[in-house]
Amino acid sequence: MIKKNLVGQDVDVYTEQLENGLNVYLVPMKNMKRYFITYATRFGSLMTQFMPADSKKMEKVPNGIAHFLEHKMFEQENGEDVFNYFSKSGAYVNASTGYESTRYICSGMDNFIGNLKYLINFVNNPYFTDKNVEKEKGIIIEEVNMYKDDAEASLDNTSRYNLFQNDNHRFDIGGEVDDVKSITKEDLYLCYENFYQPQNMFVLAVGNIQVEKTLEAIREEFNNDKKYKQLPKVKYLNEPYKVRKEKEIVKFNVEIPKFVYSLKIKKEIFEIKNQYLIDLRLNLMLRMLFGSTSLFYEKGKLDDLFSSFYYNFDTTNQYIIISFFAETKKYEKLIELIKETLQNRNSILTKDDFMRSKKTMIANKIKASCYIDAISDSLYEDLINYGDVIYDKIDIIREISYEEMCKTCEKIDLDNNCTVVYVPKK
């Protein structure tokens, strides 16, 4: 295995690629009793159109299928209950689906090798029948309904729907109730066979683990099945620059109005290949302009412009989305202040602030490095967002210059934006 150090965090990452294409990342941590295992595939809610490697037919599956598949992986042919197996050793098991990936996780204290193998095994062996697929629909529909009632989740959904014209980011990860109802076992097998292939997947284990034994167990688990297989060609529709709808006001079951104001920015204008560098510079900027130490935040509080406020940062293959969320009765004024702050960003971003923000970012990374969940999440995000672990983040942060950040920030164009406001019904 190849050993590399996460710079400045006293953590080593061991990596290996198996012959079938599966990538393995192992992070032994001294002093920790617990382990945290992730088995993941780069298959999420975005991939609904694809051409299998051995076919010329373009397949189209319903929205929400990746999430449905995640639920159904817990079904075993021999009728064994997956939850039962893990609870025998007091371990926790769960799964979650995102736009670009699905992950199955297990954390616990005992039976590490057994649980690791079982986790890989149940994800490697699908068992879908008409009956068990039908049965799951009630559960998933309740889940979809739960998010529909949540004002913030719903607001976020509406905003994404208005930002994008073609990109699947405009749909909820779980799909709509009708999508869920339409899903068949054939759809599930089709997606499974295409995307749950070793070269599209990885195993990440962090915590109280022994590197050699872990790798051996993983190899064993892949001995008989899951040979190397070519991946399908996913079709991503070209997403036009313009937002679909600039402004929408929705009456919703809320007590206080809430809004999202989002910018849709073309990635190519930054002329930087390294996505992490773009993200880092923009994050520093957002922190300085809108974080807890910003003049914006102070003015917003003193003038009672919001009761809660935060910003978010997202990327698609073509765009960067910066979103500002707030709960406020004075949304027009607040949106004006956000726009004004962005407009005047060059004069607001000072070098002192920049140095302090860098220092804070580095300190936060060191703080997080004694928690296995935090290390695990951070590596997982790297693998999904950047394709590989970024080992030298702390060095990259140290080296980034004020001028570089300003140069990147100057390029942001503010004209392509979208506002969604949720107002009380009464």
Binding site for another protein (CB under 8 A): 31-34, 81, 83-84, 87-93, 108-110, 135-140, 142-143, 145-146, 148-149, 151, 253-256, 291-295, 297-298, 301-302, 304, 307, 327, 356-357, 359-360, 363-364, 366-367, 369-372, 425
| Sole residue written with tokens 């140095």 | 355
Longest CA span, the chain: 66
Q: Which residue number, 92 or 236, has a Cβ lying nearer to another protein? A: 92
CB of 138 to another protein, least distance (A): 3
- Evaluate whether 208 touches 32 at the Cβ level (below 8 Å): yes
Q: Which residue number, 219 or 356, has a Cβ lying nearer to another protein? A: 356
Q: Which residue number, 276 or 371, has a Cβ lying nearer to another protein? A: 371
- Which residue, among 25, 16, 218, 15, has the nearest Cα to 115 in the 3D structure? 218
DSSP 165-214: SS-GGGS-TT--HHHHHH--HHHHHHHHHHHS-GGGEEEEEEES--HHHH
- Which residue, among 55, 66, 48, has the nearest Cα to 188 in the 3D structure? 66
- In whole angstroms, how far apart are CA 233 and each of 33, 54, 153? 42, 10, 31
- In whole angstroms, how far apart are CA 147 and each of 1, 161, 177? 42, 15, 12
Q: Which residue number, 57 or 131, has a Cβ lying nearer to another protein? A: 131
Phi, psi dihedrals of residue 168, rounded to the nearest 5°? -70, -10
Phi, psi dihedrals of residue 292, rounded to the nearest 5°? -65, -20
CB of 420 to another protein, least distance (A): 17
The pair of three-digit structure tokens given for residue 335, joined into one six-digit string: 């949106």
CB of 329 to another protein, least distance (A): 8
CB of 10 to another protein, least distance (A): 8
Helical (H) or strand (E) element with 40: strand 35-41
* DSSP-derived 3-state class of residue 53: coil
CB of 333 to another protein, least distance (A): 15
- Evaluate whether 123 touches 74 at the Cβ level (below 8 Å): no
Q: Which residue number, 92 or 391, has a Cβ lying nearer to another protein? A: 92
Residue 221 is among the residues annotated as catalytic for this protein: no
Q: Which residue number, 40 or 133, has a Cβ lying nearer to another protein? A: 133
CB of 330 to another protein, least distance (A): 11
Q: Which residue number, 242 or 359, has a Cβ lying nearer to another protein? A: 359
Catalytic pick among 70, 100, 136, 239: 70
Q: Which residue number, 135 or 411, has a Cβ lying nearer to another protein? A: 135
- Evaluate whether 280 touches 397 at the Cβ level (below 8 Å): yes
- Strand ranges, E, within 223-374: 233-234, 247-252, 258-266, 308-315, 319-327
Q: Which residue number, 34 or 245, has a Cβ lying nearer to another protein? A: 34
CB of 4 to another protein, least distance (A): 20
What one-character DSSP code corresponds to residue 415? S
What strand order describes the sheet that includes 102-108? 2-6, 11-17, 23-28, 201-207, 35-41, 102-108, 92-97
CB of 53 to another protein, least distance (A): 35
- Evaluate whether 312 touches 323 at the Cβ level (below 8 Å): yes
Strand partners, 102: 41, 97
CB of 12 to another protein, least distance (A): 16
- Tally of CB atoms within 10 A around 99: 18
| Sole residue written with tokens 């649980």 | 115
Active site residues: 70
